[in-house]
Amino acid sequence: MIASDDKTSVDQYRQNCQLCEGTLKILTAKFLVCTGCGLMLRRVADDLKILYTSGWQSPLENLNLTGGTTPALGLNYSRELLRTLGKQNLNGMKILDFGGGRGELARALRALGASVVIADPYSYSQLREQGLAAVESLDQLEGSKPFDGAVTIDVVEHLTAPWEQLRMIKGLLVPGGWLYLSTPNAWSLNARINRENWREALNPSHLLLFAPPAMDRLLRKAGFEGYQRLRWRVDYSENKLVQAKDWLLRSLRLDGVLRYMAYS
């Protein structure tokens, strides 16, 4: 899930937000919040390399570190992507999966006809053994044939300076190429109610948590001028009442995930 090429230290966060220059104030014992764009920043981070290396020793038992995308969700995401792109299949498309984790989404995209390359520093060797095209970092893709599109699911919250990686991704896209991005919603109903006990805030690998204004700033800082927030139907439960609740939250823009499509 995490795909980190960044070298920026969390210690660089001081008085002002790096997205909007807004003032940072203490939100909880573990987070600062920007008064301008709503970005939440973890005040003290664990040693992420140790955290991720440990998690990947038992990937299915550490989904908060290796990714929560199941085969069913991978299929769900790929179908919604087709609908957003207005296509019946992905034949002939080359897609970058940044932070592809265990490869579930890549497999779903390949089943629809796409050629997929995964960039993930912690799972790339395992993915290669499974027959998937994978590299350790975005740097290794420079100079390669450009991608038609890119996907990055629940990755940017794990990075200290995600605009740097998104800018690199933009440089790997064909003119008019697209990027699908998702990340936890810091303005979701769950986040507002639970605050420091919000599940996403409790995950020690989450360094940045984005509100919609912060996501707008992130995409613009990375060089994406055109983008839109999506209302994908993603069913995390087969319970019809849960699905109805999720539909209502999406309608009110209070759902737990921010989903965006951006264009180069």
User: What order do you get walking across the sheet with 115-119 strand by strand?
Assistant: 133-135, 115-119, 94-98, 147-153, 173-184, 257-263, 226-229
Whether the Cβ atoms of residue 98 and residue 152 lie closer than 8 Å to each other: yes
- Residue 186, SS3? coil
pLDDT digit string, tens, across residues 139-170? 999 989 999 999 999 999 999 999 999 999 99
User: Residue 47: what pLDDT?
Assistant: 82
Question: Residue 45: its pLDDT value, please?
Answer: 84
Give the confidence band of 49 by pLDDT, cuts at 50, 70, 90: confident
Find the mean pLDDT for residues 214-243: 94
How confident is the model at residue 2, as a pLDDT? 42
Mean pLDDT value across residues 15-37: 93
Q: What is the pTM of this model?
A: 0.90
Question: Could you give the domains of the chain?
Answer: 68-263 (3.40.50.150)
Whether residue 105 has pLDDT greater than 70: yes
> Model confidence at 8, in pLDDT bands (50, 70, 90)?
very low
pLDDT at 116 over 60: yes
d(CA 183, CA 210): 7
- To the nearest whole number, what is the mean pLDDT of the chain? 91
> Across the strands, what pairs with 149?
95, 178
Instruction: Evaluate if residue 92 carries a pLDDT over 60.
Output: yes
In 36-132, beta strands by DSSP E: 40-42, 94-98, 115-119
CA 110-98-124 angle, 5° bins: 80
Q: What is the mean pLDDT of residues 202-228?
A: 96
What pLDDT does residue 175 have?
95
